[in-house]
Amino acid sequence: MNYGMYSDAGNAVIVSLVEMARKHQLSWHTVYDMLEAISLEEAYEEATDTAVREAVYETLSGNRHSVDQ
């Protein structure tokens, strides 16, 4: 799945985050805070880029069935 991260490893991190957020029904605020924490890691600093945030939000809100484009 592609969440707009710069690497496959980055996308895998976001996939894991989305799965956990769904499983535990996390609020958007909590998910956003987690994206900010992930972005502190140099390898994943794009985690708070607009494209990534929008893809995660749309996936969690059910507006996007697939994040592959």
Can you tell me the distance from the alpha carbon of 52 to that of 5, in angstroms, rounded to the nearest whole number? 7
Terminal Cα-to-Cα distance of the chain (whole angstroms): 9
Q: How would you class 56 by CB atoms within 10 Å of its CB: exposed for 0-12, middle for 13-18, buried for 19 or more?
A: buried
For the whole model, what pTM was predicted?
0.87
Whole-number Å distance between alpha carbons of 58 and 60 = 6
Q: What is the CA radius of gyration of the chain?
A: 11
Give me the chain's average pLDDT, please. Answer: 91
Which ranges of the chain have pLDDT less than 70? 64-69
Give the pLDDT score at 46: 97
